[in-house]
Amino acid sequence: MTDDVLLTFNAGSSTLKIGIFELAGLQARNVGRGKIDFDQSSLMLRYSIGDGKYEKPVKGDNDANFVSVVAETLEHMLAHLPGGLRAVSHRVVHGGMMFREATLLDDAAIDRIEKLIPLAPLHQPQALGVIRSIEKLRPEVRQVASFDTAFHSSQADLVRRLAIPRAMHDNGVRRYGFHGLSYKYIASQLRQIDPARAGGKVIACHLGSGASLCAMEDGISRDTSMGFSALDGIPMATRPGWLDPGALLYLMRSGMRQPERIEDFLYHECGLLGVSGISGDTRVLLEDNGPEAAEAIDLFCLRISGEVGRMCATIGGLDALVFTAGIGENQPQIRAGVARRLQWLGIEIEDDANRRNSTSISTASSQVKLFVIPTDEEQVIADEAVALIA
């Protein structure tokens, strides 16, 4: 048995996604994926390896017994793989000002990641839970962390600055940006699809339950819609996006005083769910004929197109607009709604190509090229790990 397996862990607030890779030299080849949904009363590990699909009940929970969840996950998955476990790599949401690239994990690095919990209180502890579990279960296995914020560290200090006292900025209260692993993958894919456009001014729209935009020049991040936290920017499934701080002051004076209550409100009760009163899922809203659902979708498209306009000011124009993630890759109505509001940029969408979710969805005469590119954060996590452990 050879040590030729790499696992990637993407720990969200309520899910654990796993990528399964075989290592061949300096290449990580994806051979399977898995997922555990912690919102389910009885935990189930669902995964595929090659053509095989598996479901296994998992004991433990998302809290004190989390190590048992990881232990059973490793046991089930590795039983179907020919090699041993060589390395494990993790998506860590926040790298703060400390981590500008992927890093090998040792005690010092893990402690630094732990100190960043206040910046990402819902996601950072989840990633640390997996890291600590692997450390306990397989201390001989090398671990790597990839950071969602690292891709945006190339942004100018002016772009990252909030209009607050300088000392606060210097102490870390600044715009960081997220979904960086997704944008790194999109930049690499666009270079293969259309090298000329990829070398120019590009805005990528990562549209899922969490959503943001990133403006790039020659594949380098110059601006992004999310700022200090993953609450900022455009409206999302259950998060509000931009919100006047005065509105929060009003809510606090009206009785919403506990930080935990405010946090739950902002992460779980706003966004498309709040506007529609129906759902935060755009698939549900697009099938609903009610005016509230239509208003939520229209607001989503309005804010996305408005953010594209703002970012054009940062990078000085636009050569290509890319849609990615669950909504961006699969919902033609959303893409068309955004494109209609951006006709002033010379954008023309090709309706048939858009309905088919084709890679290129702009007309031949469109001044800005439109692309639909599936993202793959797990591949980026694996590639960054291979580069470090090679």
The catalytic residue positions are 148
80 is in an annotated binding site: no
- Residues found in the chain: 390
153 is in an annotated binding site: no
Q: How far is CA 292 from CA 261, 301, 336, in A?
A: 25, 14, 19
136 is in an annotated binding site: no
208 is in an annotated binding site: yes
Q: Residue 258: CB partners within 8 Å, gap ≥ 6?
A: none
Q: Are 177 and 212 in contact (CB under 8 A)?
A: yes
As a whole number of angstroms, the distance between CA 148 and CA 120 comes to: 11
37 is in an annotated binding site: no
Angle, CA of 47, 52 and 56, to the nearest 5°: 40
224 is in an annotated binding site: no
As a whole number of angstroms, the distance between CA 52 and CA 55 comes to: 10
**Hey, which bits of the chain come out as E strands?**
3-11, 15-24, 27-37, 44-49, 52-57, 84-92, 103-104, 142-147, 201-207, 211-217, 220-224, 320-324, 369-372
327 is in an annotated binding site: yes
As a whole number of angstroms, the distance between CA 230 and CA 328 comes to: 18
As a whole number of angstroms, the distance between CA 202 and CA 217 comes to: 6
DSSP assignment of 292-318 equals HHHHHHHHHHHHHHHHHHHHHHHHTS-
The tokens for 178 are: 């997220």
129 is in an annotated binding site: no
DSSP assignment of 252-269 equals HHTT---HHHHHHHHHHS
76 is in an annotated binding site: no
Q: Are strands 211-217 and 15-24 parallel, antiparallel or unpaired?
A: unpaired
10 is in an annotated binding site: yes
329 is in an annotated binding site: yes
89 is in an annotated binding site: no
Rg (CA), the chain: 21
Which residues define the annotated binding site for ATP?
17, 206-210, 281-283, 326-330
Which residues define the annotated binding site for Mg(2+)?
10, 377
Which residues define the annotated binding site for substrate?
91
Which residues define the annotated binding site?
10, 17, 91, 206-210, 281-283, 326-330, 377
